[in-house]
Amino acid sequence: MHVYERYRPASQREVNDLVREHPFAILVSAVPGAAPTATHVPMLLPADHEPDAPLVGAVMRGHMGRANPHWRQLVDGPVLLVFSTSQAYVSPTSYDPGPTAPTLDYAAVHLTGRVELVGDPYVDPADRAGPPEPGTLGIVEATVEALESERSQRWDPHGSEELFAKILPRVAAFRITIDSQQAMFKLSQEKTPEVRARIRADLTSGPRLHHDVAGLMGKLDEVSS
């Protein structure tokens, strides 16, 4: 991803917050002679990852269904993770009078890393002996916990253990050790405070709402003021 200097995030915390708040990432990998393969998957940072700590060196966890053959190629080389906000169209109606052009505001984080599959190679449930691999269960449970924690009324997984046990053999879980990071927060930084205020108002009350992008703009304005 090409990152324009004016749109670099001001701190590592901003990057980490985006990754935590938008965990449904695009996981991309490729093998020689074939087009890249992409799958949308939940990816989690460890719960104890410090707010300002670098992502390079961190180990993220994710999973996908084994019916998706993508998981089989993950260990063949580096993978790319893409995290992003919604893509907010910025209309020139928010700008000052004069020749201008519309744009899109957004924030995105690209991470690369190496994959370690969790557990043994796939075994058909009918042939599986013993309980499901605990590492896979831990990743699935951590994913549920992270996503439920954002809700005011949380679902209690107690009582669903048997269902989880039946599902787990059909889940491919993995860990990704991050080795590079790129981030761009394109939030109309080049505009005046008055124009940015109008853009934020349009993104939170107009026909297409983008509260996530407007919220990041608000945080940027607080730091700048």
DSSP per position, 168-202: GGGEEEEEEEEEEEEEEEES-TTS-HHHHHHHHHH
Note the pLDDT of residue 122.
45
Check residues 29 and 208 and name the one with the higher pLDDT: 29
pLDDT tops 80 at residue 155 = yes
Residue 21 has pLDDT above 80, yes or no: yes
Would residue 76 count as lying in a domain? yes
Asked if the structure places residue 206 within a domain, the reply is no
Number of domains in the chain: 1
Per the domain annotation, does 20 fall within a domain? yes
Query: What pLDDT does residue 166 have?
Result: 86
Q: What is the pLDDT of residue 161?
A: 83
pLDDT band at 115 (very low <50, low <70, confident <90, very high): very high
Structure tokens at 18: 């985006």
Least Cα distance to 175 among 34, 41, 18 occurs for: 41
In-domain check, residue 102: yes
User: Domain containing 12: what range?
Assistant: 5-190
pTM: 0.90
- Lowest-confidence range among 32-41, 146-155, 156-165? 156-165
pLDDT at 44 over 60: yes
Greater model confidence, 161 or 198: 198
Would residue 223 count as lying in a domain? Answer: no
Confirm whether 90 is domain-assigned.
yes
The CATH code of the domain that includes 31 is: 2.30.110.10
117, part of any domain: yes
Confidence at residue 11, expressed as pLDDT on a 0 to 100 scale: 95
The per-residue pLDDT for 138 is 86
- Distance from C-alpha of 92 to C-alpha of 21, rounded to nearest angstrom: 29
Residue 221: per-residue pLDDT: 84
Q: Which two tokens stand for residue 43?
A: 């990816």
Residues 105 and 166 sit within 8 Å (Cβ to Cβ): no
Considering the chain, what percentage of its residues have pLDDT values greater than 90? 73
Please give the span between the terminal C-alpha atoms of the chain, in angstroms, as a whole number: 30
Q: Is the pLDDT of residue 131 over 60?
A: no
Decide: 115 and 76 in contact? Cβ < 8 Å: no
Half-sphere exposure of 67 (CA within 13 A, CB side): 4
pLDDT at 197: 95
Residues 6+ apart with CB under 8 A from 204: 210, 211, 214
Distance (Å, rounded) from C-alpha 114 to C-alpha 219?
33
Q: pLDDT value at position 40?
A: 98
**Sequential DSSP letters for 104-132:** EEEEEEEEEEEEEE-SSSP--GGG--SSP
Quote the percentage of the chain above a pLDDT of 70.
Answer: 92
Residue 126 pLDDT class (50, 70, 90 cuts): low
Residue 127 has a pLDDT of: 56
Model confidence band, residue 109 (pLDDT cutoffs 50, 70, 90): very high
Residue 40, in any domain of the structure: yes
Average pLDDT over residues 52-67: 96
pLDDT at residue 150, as a whole number: 87
